[in-house]
Amino acid sequence: MSQPKGSSRDRILAAAAEVAREAGAGKLSLDAIAARAGVSKGGLLYNFPTKAALMRALVDTFLAEFEAELNAATEDPQANVDVLTAYVRLSAIECEETKPGGAGVLAAIAEDPDFLKPIAAFKRRLLDRLKANAADVESVLVIYLALEGMRSMKLFEIDVLTADERELAVAAMLNRFARG
């Protein structure tokens, strides 16, 4: 497997997310991450002095990437996509993945439950943003809860929805509540 280009820090974060997806949150070892990233364990520790620092960076990276994707989807005037529609679409894509996209986040939470705090703060900001841009706050709340439920089922590998059921639910959200 060839190593991705980029800084060693970025390679380490990508490797940590991959190892978490493949091995599971509880089996995330620094040795496995260093090997996957193509760096020495000393190189890993140079970038992330503790496993907790690496886990914190995983959480921060996951949240920043989601927010950047949400912003990119809503900033294109040609696309004319509102925040709620972008959130539904991005969440649907994440829920279609065969492995949970937030496996690194789950690994971080397993390591230290305090990592839930920045996630909760992010989710609160996201919900506030969705509500601020909505004509129908009740619909926003229903969509938010449905998507977070779908995301949680995927993350904890208890997704009972078929692909058709998931697609039907997302289509209903887009058709009834968002500009799809």
Residue 4 DSSP code:
P
What pLDDT was estimated at residue 2? 44
Residue tagged 């009740």 (tokens): 138
CB-based contacts of 36, cutoff 8 Å, min separation 6: 15, 18, 19
**Which amino acid does the sequence have at 43?**
G
Interval 16-71: pLDDT, tens: 888 887 876 667 789 999 999 999 999 999 999 988 888 888 888 888 999 999 99
pLDDT band at 1 (very low <50, low <70, confident <90, very high): very low
What separation in angstroms does the CA of 176 have from each of 113, 167, 168? 36, 14, 12
Residue 29 DSSP code:
-
Domain boundary assignment for the chain: 52-176
Burial of 6 (0-12, 13-18, 19+ CB in 10 A): exposed
Distance CA 38, CA 5 (A): 11
Q: Is the pLDDT of residue 180 over 90?
A: no
Interval 110-162: pLDDT, tens: 667 787 888 899 999 999 999 998 889 999 999 999 999 998 888 777 889 99
Distance CA 160, CA 162 (A): 7
Interval 70-105: pLDDT, tens: 999 999 888 788 899 999 999 999 888 765 556 566
Q: Which element (helix H / strand E) includes 60? A: helix 51-75
Residue tagged 């140079």 (tokens): 46
- pTM of the entire structure? 0.79
